[in-house]
Structure 1
């Protein structure tokens, strides 16, 4: 059994090329739907910045590091990562956070 302090949050920040925002949003939406079905996923949301619609983020909540590792090496994540390059204006920033309170 995991506790809240075992949980991991992952925040990915993605800057889309202006002409690929809709395509990136659709790709991330599909990633979210698939990821929500994975063991250990507690939440997976996609957000668009209000003042900069080219910037999207994913906020993921996992029950522990092993679930994140399994997610990051899953085939559907590999497929998404393979499609990201032409859609992005800059490399994605993916950061893991551990819950401390």
Structure 2
């Protein structure tokens, strides 16, 4: 049985593109939450630095995360990101140790 995967994906928007980046990233939340294997998918914005966005995710398995990354809505967003973000996405994957 595959272990759950926890992922954190951080992106830094250009200061003059914060609202555009926010709108694009928010468009990902609803369709992603409907994906098979998605247990949690939350978008956060740093209170002290509004250019800093982070997704906090939990997936049933590595396979479900891989399917998410290959999905049409994610691939479409990735194509638009270069004009909106200064750095990222920095995607880190974790497994829970105490379960």
Shorter chain as denominator, the TM-score bin is over 0.9
Structure 1 stretches (4+) deviating beyond 6 angstroms?
none
Tell me the number of residue pairs that the alignment of Structure 1 and Structure 2 aligns: 98
Q: Which runs of 5+ in 1 are unaligned?
A: none
- Offset at 1:91? 3.0
Q: CA RMSD in A?
A: 1.3
Structure-to-structure mapping, 1:67-82, within 5 angstroms: 67-82=64-79
Which residue does 1:31 correspond to in 2? Answer: 28
- 1:22 maps to which of 19, 22, 33: 19
TM-score (norm 2): 0.92
CA offset digits 1:9-64 (Å, max 9, x no partner):
11111000011111111111111111001000011000011111110001111111
- SS of the aligned residue for 2:87 comes to coil
Q: Which runs of 5+ in 2 are unaligned?
A: none
